[in-house]
Amino acid sequence: MSISPTKAIPKHGVLKALGTMSGTSLDGVDAAIVETDGVAIHGFGLSGYRAYEPVERAQLAAALGQWHGPKVDAAGEFVTRAHVELLAQVLGEVAAADAESAVDAIGFHGQTLAHAPRSQGTLQVGDGAALAAEMQIPVVWDFRSDDVRLGGEGAPLAPFFHFACAKYLKRDKPLCFLNLGGVGNLTYVDPRFDAAEDPGALLAFDTGPANAPINDLVQARCGQMMDEGGAIARGGVVETGALELFLAEPYFTRIPPKSLDRNDFAEMITLVSELSDSDATATLTAMCAAAVAQGMTHCPEPPEVVLVTGGGRHNPVLMEMLQVSLDCRVIPIEAVGLDGDMLEAQAFAHLAVRVARGLPTSSPGTTGVRACVGGGVVSVPGAKG
> Do the beta carbons of residue 132 and residue 380 sit within 8 Å?
yes
pTM: 0.91
Rounded to the nearest 10 degrees, the angle between the axes of helix 277-296 and helix 240-247 is 40
Rounded average pLDDT over 268-295: 97
Asked whether residue 35 carries a pLDDT value surpassing 50, the answer given is: yes
The per-residue pLDDT for 161 is 98
Asked whether residue 8 carries a pLDDT value surpassing 90, the answer given is: no
Asked whether residue 33 carries a pLDDT value surpassing 70, the answer given is: yes
Asked whether residue 3 carries a pLDDT value surpassing 50, the answer given is: no
The per-residue pLDDT for 99 is 61
Rounded average pLDDT over 279-293: 98
313-368 pLDDT per residue, tens: 999 999 999 999 999 999 999 999 999 999 999 999 999 999 999 999 999 999 99
Output the average pLDDT for the chain: 92
The proportion of the chain whose per-residue pLDDT surpasses 90, expressed as a percent, equals 78
Asked whether residue 2 carries a pLDDT value surpassing 70, the answer given is: no
Q: 301 exposed, middle or buried (CB, 10 Å; 0-12, 13-18, 19+)?
A: exposed
Rounded average pLDDT over 217-235: 95
The identity of residue 10, as a single letter, is: P
Q: How far is CA 369 from the centre of its chain?
A: 18
The per-residue pLDDT for 282 is 98
Asked whether residue 245 carries a pLDDT value surpassing 80, the answer given is: yes
Q: Which domains does the chain have, with CATH numbers?
A: 15-153+375-379 (3.30.420.40), 170-336 (3.30.420.40)
> Do the beta carbons of residue 377 and residue 128 sit within 8 Å?
yes
Report the C-alpha dihedral over residues 110, 14, 382, 146, rounded to 10 degrees.
-40
